[in-house]
Amino acid sequence: MSQEAYIKPAHAVLWQSHPPGHDVISTKTLGFWLYLLSDSMIVSSLFASYLVLNHRVNAAAGPTAGMVVHPVVAFFETVLLFSGILAYGFAMVGLKRGDKKAVLSGLASAIILAVGFLVIEGVDFAGLAGHGMVPERSGFLSAFYALVLYHGAHLVFAILWTLVMIVQVAREGFTENVVYRLLNLKLFWFFRKRFNNYTLPLIP
């Protein structure tokens, strides 16, 4: 099995005759997948911490999961977030057609929906903080906030990146650099969705 096929030296090709077609986009996208792998390790560490600290002892006589999670709010947040990702998906459909306008409007609506998500989350957390449910209160709340705020921080960066992409698409059109960034950003947005998917069943 490990034996190699014998190649006659006299017929061997020693140098390749033409430089390879260097596939920039797939190289960059696969690399971004690897980055997402490393990021999901951070996320899983946070989930593990949350699961460890989601215990009455770690609530330190403070609020528990049932008191800080508002399912109705979470529902609307999820709707907004998923709509944002859907909007990004529409932008990708536009990219396939090479339709600059569709891409730009898709990106812009994704941003608007994501900002809506952040606003709701901010209001929700402000309410919690008003009742003294702050990360400093207990180990459980620390883990809860770390998890959801890590998600929020990703969203902030996704919005920032999407803004940059709007400018680049408008300025440069669909060059190789712009296209691979749009594809990576798509992965980044969908990663948020997976994150959210796992968060929902685990949080209560």
Partner 1 sequence: MLVHYPGPWSPLLGRLALKEIPYQNPILVWTFVLVSCAALAIFAAITYHRAWGYLWREWLTSVDHKKIGVMYCLVGLVMFFRGFIDGVMMRTQQVMAVGPQSPGYLGALHGYLPPYHFGQIYSAHGTIMILFAITPILIGIMNIVVPLQVGARDMAYPYLNAVSFWLTASATALVMISLFVGDFSHAGWVGLSPLTELAYSPGVGVDYWIWAVQIGSVGTTLASINIIMTIIKLRAPGMTWTRMPIFCWTALSTSVVGLSSFPVFTAAVALLSLDRYAGTHFFTPGLGGNLMLYTDLFWIWGHPEVYYVILPAFGIISEIVPTFSEKPLFGYMTMAAASIAIGGVSWSVWLHHFFTMGAGPGVNSFFSIASMLVGIPTGVKVFNWAFTLYRGRIRFDLPMLWALGALVLLLTGGLSGMMLAMPAINYTVHNSVFVVAHFHNMLNVVGFAAIGGINFWFPKVFGFKLDERIGKRAFWFFSAGTVVLFGSMYALGFMGMPRRIDYIPFVSWRPLLMSEEAGIFLFLIAAYYMIKQMYVSIRDRAQHRVTGPDPWRTARSLEWLTHCPVPFYNFALLPHINSRDEWAWRRQNGLVNLRPDHYEDIHLPNNTFVPMLLGALAFGLGFGMVWRMYWLAGLSLLGIVVAVIARSFEPDSGHTIPGVRIREIEETLPEELDGMEPVADVAGGVVAFQARTAPRAPAQEP
Residue ranges in contact with partner 1 by CB under 8 A? 1-2, 4, 7-20, 22-23, 26-27, 30-31, 34-35, 37-39, 41-42, 45-46, 48-49, 52-53, 57-60, 62, 135-140, 142-143, 145-146, 160, 164, 168, 177, 181
Nearer to partner 1, 25 or 102 (CB): 25
**Rounded least distance, CB 86 to partner 1, Å:** 26
Nearer to partner 1, 78 or 142 (CB): 142
Which residue's structure tokens are 């919690």?
Answer: 128
Rounded Cα gap, residues 183 and 180, in angstroms: 5
**Rounded least distance, CB 54 to partner 1, Å:** 10
Nearer to partner 1, 21 or 72 (CB): 21
**Rounded least distance, CB 162 to partner 1, Å:** 12
Q: At what angle do helices 139-172 and 100-130 cross, to 10 degrees?
A: 160
Rounded to 5°, the CA angle 154-75-132 comes to: 70
Nearer to partner 1, 93 or 123 (CB): 123
Q: How many CB atoms lie within 10 A of CB 62?
A: 16
Q: How many CB atoms lie within 10 A of CB 96?
A: 9
**Rounded least distance, CB 75 to partner 1, Å:** 28
Residue 106 burial by CB count (10 A; 0-12/13-18/19+): exposed, middle or buried? buried
Among 73, 57, 46, 40, which residue's Cα sits nearest to residue 145? 46
Q: Are 146 and 47 in contact (CB under 8 A)?
A: no
Nearer to partner 1, 46 or 85 (CB): 46
**Rounded least distance, CB 79 to partner 1, Å:** 29
